[in-house]
Structure 1
Amino acid sequence: MLTISPIADTPEAALERVLPSAPYLRRLHETGTRGHWRDALQAVRDIPADLPEAEAMTVMRKAKAQLHLSLAAEDLSGILPVMSVTRALSEFAEACLEAALRVTLARRGVGGAGIFAVALGKMGAYELNYSSDIDICVFYEPGVFMAGDYEAGETAQRIARDIVRIMQELTGDGYVFRTDLRLRPDPSSTPLAVSTRMADLYYESVGQNWERMVWIKGRPTAGDRESAARFLKILSPFVWRRNLDYWAIGDIQAIKRMINSKVGRADFETVSPDVKLGPGGIREIEFFAQTQQLILGGRQPELRDNSTLGALAALTKAGVVEPDTADELNTAYLALRNLEHRVQMRRDEQTHIVPAGEDDRRDVALMSGYDDLAAFDRDLQATRRCVQAHYDRLFAHEDRALEDHSLGNLVFTGVDDDPGTIETLASLGFSNPSAAIDTIRNWHRGRVPATRTARGRELLTALLPGMLAAMGKTGEADEAFRWFSRFFEGLSSGVQTLSMLLAEQTLLDDLVSTLALAPRLAQILSRRPDLLEALVSNQEPSRPVIDEHVSFDGALDSWRRYHREQNFLIGHRLLHGLIQARDAGTHWSDLADDTIREMAAAAERETANRYGPRPGSWAVFAMGKLGGRELTAGSDLDLIVIYDADPMEAQTWYTRFTQRLITALTAPTAEGDLYEVDMRLRPSGGAGPVAVSVPAFERYQNKDAWTWEHMALTRLRPVAGNEALSHQIMTIACEAIVSRAAKDDGTIARDVSDMRQRLYREKPGKGLWDLKTAEGGLVDAEFVVQQDMLLSGKPEAIRANTREAIAHSTLPDAERSMLIEGVTFLQSLQQVHRLALGSDVQAGVMPEGLKDRLCRSVGVDSFAALEAEISSLKSRVHALCAEKLHLPATD
């Protein structure tokens, strides 16, 4: 174990020995700084309130130089033990704060009642080191400070700024202490001085367990001590919970894991460790004590000592820590604190890292009483190993599942970015680790709905190692984090979802990869996180039973619950290659068909209950993509309702029926929505009735329909309703198309060509990834085959599905093969693309994982090769379209 020994018998001799290797102490000595540290402390305590600020600052800075040189001499000679040194430094910092506040209040003409500073961290525990900054919070008590003056808050801010400036401004005499106010409640959005009322509300509502650990060491250090005592009493239930629930313990355990994950043997072999934050360092001893204080201190007040060694002693006396363990940690703590001082006093640097250079390290070893550098290195390593052995045994009974993530540091507490955490995130592929750390820190502060409860924040802490590991596995950690953030921040409540993800690591991995591939699904999942349960169950959703006993509204809600699970599962399977992209249209269309049948049946029952029995019979027909069984994620439905009954008696009933069907398919309920419905392809479009009688349909198709309407009619397909009526309507449609071909005088070809040119103008292509409307896209192929069906006059050629229509067309074999191959290729890409990104056609927004999935959907090796193939294919398809439709040449 490391043993720090005096290097001389007297302070003067100790200084003489170290001055050559300690530039800071040498400078103090050469500038004539003399006197005992107690005199320096008293000089600051004696600063009168009416002393001009500049003079007070000079007194403090000169006193600090005197105190540092005197303390170093007594420290190195062994006159003062290390904890007496830290106390002297802490008392000096306290005296400086008191003086700074005293002078500031006097200069501003404000009374001191109701304003105070609380010391946290090492200062709060009288454990400051030579080059520590000081962590404080400045509070004011409303109604006491300035007697409730409405300007009290603003005045308190100015006083806090003055104190910080007096303490840390660099003058010709140096500075006193770097002063950090960032441990105050929510420092990014609160002023420098915080009202006690606001602080109480913050800690009661969103205070975190790491903040409870911070406040273990809190103590009044300057200002109105009575107000400070009242505030700390109010805060006590936050710090010391009498009943600590399971999730709080889990959070504390997770913080322990995150503070310093195992980073391997190599860190113990280094001769230049961080004796504070590294494995086996001071932080682990502090955490060893504070963690157990948090868990037990609520019911055992005797454990609430705010010093590290005092806490160890109290835990040992209470039988919580074994005496041998306490002795070894006590010895290690004193040695490491001593070493920390020797590292810092050489140059007055706020560092905790033993120098790597052999000459510098030998100087530190000599200041520690070692003549043999190898022995120094060996003893330091042994001390650190001893500390971490005890640290690792802490919570030995805890669930080890999450310890599989040996990632390195993952610290999101406090206000500064932990360097080890930045390194860990960078190793996972994060290009801007600080941005991710800041986002997670805000989550911990309860700034999103999912973490506004203590349990939500505790679950997040436990989840983070697995979540970040999963993001690293995607190969694009930034994208995965960005979309997970959207998902996470969109959750209305986090406990259930986070619990599920914590219990199912495979589900967490799946979720992260899904969100990285498909931003569109991130938005869906953020609104409906319950969809994750469908993945956990690994079973098909149970189809609801909707009969005459179920109300219309009940039918809508019941089917929406089923539909969103089934819809999500289809998308998930498509995204992860569990169904082929070329077949996805069939899966989406089957679900839509089922939905139409169920909702039409519910609409019929509702209409009959309200307006009497159904007259005649009805059928619902699909057109467009649904007609061709080519739906994609998010497609709307093109529908026609046709009935067989006397229009004079039945039109009103079927209008009401159709309106209820549309409502059933489109209306958002508490359970979500289903589809957008477009009925503009019915006879007479938006000007015609929503439900069409058989005679009206037949008359329109044979006498009034335009060429483009017959093109659309080629994709007519019955979905629900009376089978005989469905067959009758399909016959009418086929005969109308065949009849048009028989009477054609060249009009069909002209109309088709004119229409395609018009669409080029009205819906110009949006680039390479516009797979639908751009030149060479799916619309070009559809126009070619639909023109062929209209011109052929062959009933067997009329097919709603584009690929089937191409196969049965009159086109030459080579053209058929090219078109089938091209349509299959483009539809496959469109399926994955629409699922992941919706209608956005810009390649630049695609995550890298999505690019890989698109390549795999069509069997292409690289994204560059894929884009080249898209370009080539679209050129061939457009060339054929231009030839068949007699399109004019374009530049």
Structure 2
Amino acid sequence: MLNVRPIAQTPEAALELACERAPYLRRLAGRDLEDRDWREAIETVRMLPKLGQKPIEEAMRVLRRAKQATHLSLAGEDLSGTLDVMDVTMVLTELACECVDTALKVALAHYGLSGDGIFAIALGKMGAFELNYSSDIDFCIFYDPDVFDGGDRSPGEAAQRVARDIVRMFDDMTEDGYVFRTDLRLRPDPSSTPLAVSTAMAEIYYESVGQNWERMVWIKARPAAGDIAAAKRFLKGMEPYVWRRNLDYWAIGDIQAIKRMINTKAKAHEFNIPNPDIKLGPGGIREIEFFVQTQQLILGGRRPELRDNTTLGAMEALRAGGVVEDDTARDLTEAYRQLRNVEHRIQMRNDEQTHTLPKDPEAREAVAFLSGYGNLEDFDRDVLETRRLVQSAYDALFAAEDRAAGETRSGNFVFTGVDDDPGTVETLQDLGFSDPSAAIETIRSWHRGRVPATRTGRGRELLTAILPRLLEDMGKTGEADEAFRWFSRFFGGLSSGVQTLAMLLAEPDLLDDLVATLALAPRLAEILSRRPDLLESLVSGQAPVRPEIGPDTSFDGALDAWRRYHRDQHFLTGHRLLHGLIPARDAAEYWTALADDTIREMAAAAKWETERRNGPQPGQWGVFAMGKLGGRELTAGSDLDILVIYDADPMEAQKWYTRFTQRLITALSAPTAEGALYEVDMRLRPSGRAGPVAVSLPAFKSYQHKEAWTWEHMALTRLRPVVGDEGLGQAVMDIAIDAITERARTNADTIPADITDMRNRLYREKPGKGLWDLKTAAGGLIDVEFIVQQDMLLGGQPEAICASTQEAIQCSTFNIEERLLLADGLGLLQALQQVQRVAIGTETRSDVMPAGLRDRLCRAVEASTFRDLETELSSIKSRLHQFAVEKLHLGATES
């Protein structure tokens, strides 16, 4: 155990020795100070307002000189053992309180204001008479707007001016230095409130979103300056908030979780390093303070005798009340005193706000000397022994609860208070966060109720419980920043956090899954951020409930109902694909089935709405798929290429079917309050944009046999009926096959040249974007499709015309090796595109792919490593493009 001893018998002798090793004390000793004793200095401060109105500048000089005199004379009494360590902290605190009171009075006098209704509450070490040499002073300035008279200004404006002047008097650096570093950030919601806070606002804040760590802060609160009677009334009103008579399970769990967040598992090197932080590090002062304050919070509401606002006074109360064992209380009390002694000696060397022993042995030897040690080895040993003793007791606090929580983490996850915990910053950096401070500030804002999910106490307590695992999961994705960014959007979208947070706490695998999804798939993350309730679908494993849409359903109601269902189904399909629950090579079937289902439902809704407005349908109709939809090759986010054909007299039916088609397009693509479904592309209809949106059967037949270009018959190979009259569907398919086979008979000489020209034009207009451009780049999907479609058009065999590219390959005229190349290449490209599109859309740069996404791409095609995958992809694209060059007669420069 540490044993800090006097270094001389008298204050004068102690100072003489100390000045050799403490540059700050040496500088003070060389100054011509009016007061040479801390008692005189404090009295000078106390008397300043009574000497008449003093300018702020003069007050600043007096306060600074008094602080210097106190530091110098107090150091001598401290180092000589004339004053006990807790007496030293008492004197430092008394000086701070007198300075605050004087500064407040000087500022009020400057504006000609009375001090009624405005006061300062000391918090933290200042509230407990436990300040150290270089402490910030934590206090809050409050004013009662019904009592405080702001003169020519409103009470709020006047109070802000007074508060700013107090801070300036303390913090501004002059030729005499500074007085204290002031910290007013323990006021309610400091990032959005002024320096001086009205009592009414404070009461609302603490009743609604006050947190358990803030209750710990207010354990040490006491009136410090100004209208003391008003301050006492305010503190009396705070008692129900600080001292809850009955704590529910979640409040106790939150307090325990805060303990787990503080040094959840000390790293071995943190004990072995020679220069520990004796306040914030494992086995440090903070752990002793937390040991006391948490038990006060839990028990103090029912046991007023435990409400002492000093650390050691509360420790004794806990011991006397049978809460803490005698030996533990004795050991921690002595450890606290000794560590505070060392803390003073660290700070008095250079007046630095640090609690870390110097790394340099010579500098650390100076601290050991000021602590009464004859050699550094003994000092280092005793510091380590004391810290181990403290952490042993600290670890025993809530030990059973920690084990039940499955505590296996390492590092800090501390988001209490207003300063960034250094250990937490380091932990987040290790997890891959590029800006830990920004993440910490965001989490603090959540704890302050800035999002709906944390506007209840239980929501904040649940957040505390899941934070460590949540952040570790983000680190595991390899994209911590991206995961945090999307989780922030998701979390901000929760209307109420209790149900979702409780579900994430109860289902750790769901939390892991959520974080991975947010990090790896921005498309899915966007859906989740709008519909957080989709998490329930993942937990239940149940398919979304299909809406019942019938003739009596309004058109708008049908659109909204189906969009809700589609969004859930789309998300679940994407989620399963991303996490390997659906093989990537089979995913197109799921996307296509959902699209077909959507077209059928929306076509029915469009038909009923058109009949309501335009009378019964004339004749028969059908909706046909083309492109990837026709080939059952859809990916997440694919457009829908569709064609509407009807069999009725155009003179009577064209208007009806035009209205029907327009409503179908609206039903499929228009955004509503529930979102949108698909982009719809009807450019593959006869005459493209120039033609009618709905085509009569005779017009379709005439166009395909007389006017269609080669590229239109290439597209026609992928025609497929989706919904409508079956007889009409068969008739349309017969027309399509007849038109294609007729071209093979009559225009075989022009087909290769047309296709070659089209592919070359696409190369020029849509050049490839690198290896991961799986569609338009050389050796991509378009090359495969053109090769296969050319074979169908040249072959002219009805049985070989297949909408599915894979099926068409099997029916093609190519030899076995060529079929294997095309089939394997197509399968690889399609599988990779499925994962790529669900995760990052059309992005083609591998350098922006999250590490986890790279892993999923490898799993999708059973590649060992991402490097192996890129090697295989490059090879197969090269071979496919070489085959395209041969079959499509492409110029060599096009590769």
Q: Is the 8 A contact 2:150 2:158 kept in 1?
A: no
Helix, strand or coil: the match of 2:351? Answer: coil
1:126 paired to 2:126: no
- The alignment's TM-score, normalised by the length of structure 2, stands at 0.89
Please state whether the residue corresponding to 2:533 is helix, strand or coil: helix
Gaps of 5+ in 2: none
Change in Cα spacing, 1:89 to 1:547, as seen in structure 2 (3 Å) is closer
* Residue in structure 2 matched with residue 46 of structure 1 by the alignment: 47
Give the corresponding residue for 1:138: 141
Aligned to 1:807: 810
1:301–1:367 Cα change, 3 Å:
same
Q: Does structure 1 conserve the Cα–Cα contact (< 8 Å) formed by 2:517 and 2:575?
A: yes
Aligned to 2:776: 773
Output the CA distance in 1 between the equivalents of 2:331 and 2:243. 27
Q: Aligned to 1:387, which of 377, 390, 412?
A: 390
144-153 or 179-188, larger mean C-alpha shift: 144-153
Rounded Cα–Cα distance in structure 2 between residues aligned with 1:563 and 1:341: 65
* CA deviations over 1:506-531 (Å, ceiling 9, x no partner): 22222222222222221111112222
Moved more, 114-123 or 187-196: 187-196
After TM superposition, the structure 1 stretch with the greater mean CA deviation from structure 2, 875-884 or 849-858, is 875-884
Q: Which position in structure 1 is the counterpart of 2:431?
A: 428
Paired residues of 2:150 and 2:159 also in contact (CA < 8 A): no
Shift in Å, 1:835: 1.0
Report the secondary structure of 1:720's partner residue. Answer: strand
2:254 is the alignment partner of 1:251: yes
Aligned to 2:420, the other structure's residue is in SS state coil
Alignment of 1:825 with 2:828, yes or no, is: yes
Q: How does 1:59-208 map to 2 (within 5 A)?
A: 59-142=62-145, 144-147=147-150, 149-150=152-153, 153-208=156-211
Task: Call closer, same or farther: CA 1:607–1:322 in 2, change over 3 Å.
Answer: farther
Q: Which residue of 1 aligns with 2:536?
A: 533
Structure 1 equivalent of residue 38 of structure 2: 37
Secondary structure of the 1:718 match is: strand
Q: Which residue number in structure 2 is paired with residue 308 of structure 1?
A: 311
Q: Secondary structure at the match of 1:622?
A: strand
Within 1, Cα distance between the matches of 2:606 and 2:613? 11
Aligned match of 1:624: 627
> Which residue among 348, 353, 369 is the counterpart of 2:351?
348
Q: Which moved more, 1:48-57 or 1:285-294?
A: 48-57
Equivalent in the alignment of 1:468: 471
Distance 1:285 1:603, change over 3 A: same
Q: Return the alpha-carbon distance in structure 1 between the equivalents of residues 218 and 277 of structure 2.
A: 25
Q: Is the 8 A contact 2:265 2:408 kept in 1?
A: no
Q: Secondary structure at the residue paired with 1:112?
A: coil
Give per-residue Cα distances to partners, 1:78-135, cap 9 Å, x unaligned: 4433222211111111111222233333334444344433222111111111221212
- Aligned match for 2:488, one of 476, 485, 489: 485
Which amino acid counterpart does residue 454 of structure 2 have in structure 1? Answer: T
Q: Of 723, 743, 746, which residue of structure 2 is paired with 1:720? A: 723
Q: Secondary structure at the match of 1:726?
A: helix
Structure 1 distance, partners of 2:709, 2:551, is: 45
User: Matched residues in 2 for 1:686 and 1:496: separation?
Assistant: 50
Give the distance between the partners of 1:163 and 1:90, measured in 2 at CA. Answer: 17
Within a 5 Å distance, the mapping from 1:333-344 to structure 2 comes to 333-344=336-347
Per-residue Cα deviation, 1:473-523 (whole angstroms, up to 9, x for no partner): 223433333343343344444333222222222222222222222222211
Which residue of the partner structure matches residue 407 of structure 1?
410
- Which amino acid in 2 is paired with 1:444? H
Counterpart of 1:328 (choices 331, 352, 356) is 331
* In structure 2, distance between residues paired with 1:118 and 1:84: 21
Q: What is residue 635 of structure 1 aligned with on the other side?
A: 638
Question: Could you say what secondary structure the match of 1:621 adopts?
Answer: strand
Q: CA deviation at 1:862?
A: 5.4
Farther-moved stretch of structure 1 (317-326 vs 579-588): 317-326
Aligned partners of 1:781, 1:355: CA distance in 2, in Å?
A: 68
Query: Is the alpha carbon distance of 1:867 and 1:492 closer, same or farther for their aligned partners in structure 2, counting shifts above 3 Å?
Result: farther
2:713 corresponding residue in structure 1: 710
d(CA) in 2 for partners of 1:413, 1:801: 59
Matches within 5 A, 1:562-641: 562-600=565-603, 618-641=621-644
TM-score, normalised on structure 1? 0.89
Are 1:834 and 2:837 counterparts? yes
User: Which stretch of structure 1 is more off in the superposition, 309-318 or 171-180?
Assistant: 309-318
Question: Is the contact made by 2:493 and 2:532 (CA closer than 8 Å) also made in structure 1?
Answer: no
RMSD: 3.6
AA matched with 1:640? L
Distance apart, 1:831 and its partner CA: 1.5
User: What letter corresponds to residue 92 of structure 1 in structure 2?
Assistant: L
CA distance in 2, matches of 1:369, 1:870: 71
Partner residue, 2:798: 795
Structure 2 residue matching 1:771: 3-state secondary structure: coil
Bigger Cα displacement from structure 2, 232-241 vs 164-173:
232-241
Of 418, 433, 446, 1:443 maps to 446
Deviations 1:144-185 (A, max 9, x none): 444474465555444333322322334443332222223233
What is the deviation of 1:270? Answer: 4.7
Taking the aligned partners of 1:412 and 1:718, their CA distance within structure 2 comes to 59
| SS in structure 2 of the partner of residue 404 of structure 1 | coil
Name the SS of the counterpart of 1:136 in structure 2.
strand
SS in 2 for 1:118: strand
Alignment check: 8 A CA contact 1:402 1:466 kept = no
**Contact conserved, 1:143 with 1:149, CA < 8 A, in 2?**
no
Which deviates further from its counterpart, 548-557 or 292-301?
Answer: 548-557
Residue identity matched to 1:436: A
Letter in 1 for 2:40: D
**Cα separation, 1, equivalents of 2:265 and 2:888:** 69
Kindly, what percent of the aligned residue pairs are identical? 68
Pairwise mapping of residues 177-326 of structure 1 onto structure 2 (< 5 A)? 177-326=180-329
The separation in 1 between residues aligned to 2:562 and 2:830, in whole angstroms, is: 28
Amino acid in the other structure paired with 1:591 = L
Moved more, 871-880 or 571-580: 871-880
What is the distance in 2 between the residues matched to 1:171 and 1:745? 93
Deviates more, 1:271-280 or 1:91-100: 271-280
- Whether the 8 Å CA contact 2:748–2:794 is kept in 1: the answer is no
After TM superposition, the structure 1 stretch with the greater mean CA deviation from structure 2, 678-687 or 725-734, is 678-687
CA contact (8 A) 1:540 1:566 kept: no
**Structure 1 stretch 822-831 or stretch 254-263: which is displaced more?**
822-831
Q: CA separation in 2, counterparts of 1:17 and 1:377?
A: 21
Unmatched segments (≥5 aa) in structure 1: none
Q: Contact between 2:267 and 2:411, CA under 8 Å: does it hold in 1?
A: no
How far residue 415 of structure 1 moved from its aligned partner, in angstroms, is 2.6
The alpha carbon displacement at 1:861 in A equals 5.5
* Whole-Å separation in 2 of the counterparts to 1:238 and 1:223: 23
Give the 3 Å change call, closer, same or farther, for CA 37–745 of structure 1 in structure 2. closer
In 1, the alpha carbon distance for the partners of 2:203 and 2:440 equals: 26
**Structure 2 CA distance for partners of 1:346 and 1:878, relative to 1, 3 Å:** closer
The code of the aligned residue for 2:487 comes to F
**1:263/1:406 contact within 8 Å kept:** no
Distance, in Å, in 2 between the alignment partners of 1:384 and 1:234 is 38
Matched-pair contact (CA < 8 Å) for 1:710–1:737:
yes
Q: Could you tell which deviates more after superposition, 271-280 or 106-115?
A: 106-115
Q: Return 685-694 or 181-190, whichever deviates more.
A: 685-694
Instruction: Return closer, same or farther for 1:401/1:198 CA change in 2, 3 Å cut-off.
Output: same
